[in-house]
Amino acid sequence: VDRLPRYAAGKPPVVVDGLASYKLSSNENPLPPIPAVAEAIAAQTDFNRYPDPLSTKLRTALADFLDVPAEDIVTGAGSLGALNQILAAFAGQNDDGKADEVIYAWRSFEAYPICVGLAGAESVRIPVTPDGRHNLEAIAAAVTMRTKVILLCTPNNPTGPILTAEETERFIKTVPSDVVVVIDEAYQEFVRAEDAVDGIRMYRKYPNVVALRTFSKAHGLAGLRVGYSISQPELTQHLRVAATPFAVSQIAEQAAVVSLQNFDQVVERVQSLVDERDRVTAGLRGLGWFVPEAQGNFVWLNLGEDSAEFAQLAGERALSVRAFGNEGVRVSIGEVEANTRFLDLCAVYT
Ligand code: PMP
Is the peptide bond prior to 192 cis by the omega test (within 30 degrees of 0)?
A: no
User: Could you write out the DSSP letters of every residue in 276-336?
Assistant: HHHHHHHHHHHTT-------SSEEEE--GGGHHHHHHHHHHTTEE-EEETTTEEEEE---H
Nearest-5° Cα angle at 143, 140 to 146: 165
User: Around Cβ 44, how many Cβ atoms within 10 Å?
Assistant: 12
CA–centroid distance, 2 to ligand 1, in Å, is 33
Give rounded-to-5 percent helix, strand, coil for the chain. 40, 20, 40
- Helix, coil or strand: residue 61: helix
pTM reported for the whole predicted model: 0.94
Our mutation pick for probing the ligand 1 site, out of 27, 184, 297, counting the most ligand atoms within 8 A of Cβ, is 184
The residue nearest atom 6 of ligand 1, judged by CA position, is 186
Which atom belonging to ligand 1 lies closest to the Cα atom of 215? Answer: 16
C-alpha 347 – ligand 1 centre gap (Å): 30
Q: Which of 217, 229, 331 to mutate to test the pocket of ligand 1 (most atoms within 8 A of CB)?
A: 217
Give the tens place of pLDDT for each residue, 194-231.
Answer: 999 999 999 999 999 999 999 999 999 999 999 999 99
Q: How far is the CA of 152 from the centre of ligand 1 (A)?
A: 13
How far, in Å, from the CA of 252 to the mean position of ligand 1? 16
Q: How close is the Cα of 196 to the center of ligand 1, in Å?
A: 19
pLDDT at position 14 is 59
Residues of the chain where predicted confidence (pLDDT) is lower than 50: 1-11, 13
Any idea what the Cα angle at residue 160 is, between residues 180 and 338, rounded to 5°? Answer: 135
- DSSP H or E segment with residue 102: strand 101-106
- Ligand 1 pocket residues where CB is under 6 Å: 27, 78-80, 109, 153, 157, 184, 186, 214, 216, 222, 227
Atom of ligand 1 nearest to the CA of 225: 15
Distance from C-alpha of 84 to C-alpha of 98, rounded to nearest angstrom: 20
- Strands 15-16 and 19-20 turn out to be antiparallel
**8 Å CB contact between 116 and 152:** no
Instruction: Determine which helix (DSSP H) or strand (DSSP E) holds 5, and give its type and residue range.
Output: none
CA 24 to ligand 1 centroid distance, Å: 15
What's the CA-to-centroid distance between 10 and ligand 1, angstroms? Answer: 17
Cα gap 14→343, rounded to integer Å: 20
The question of ipTM being above 0.95 is answered as yes
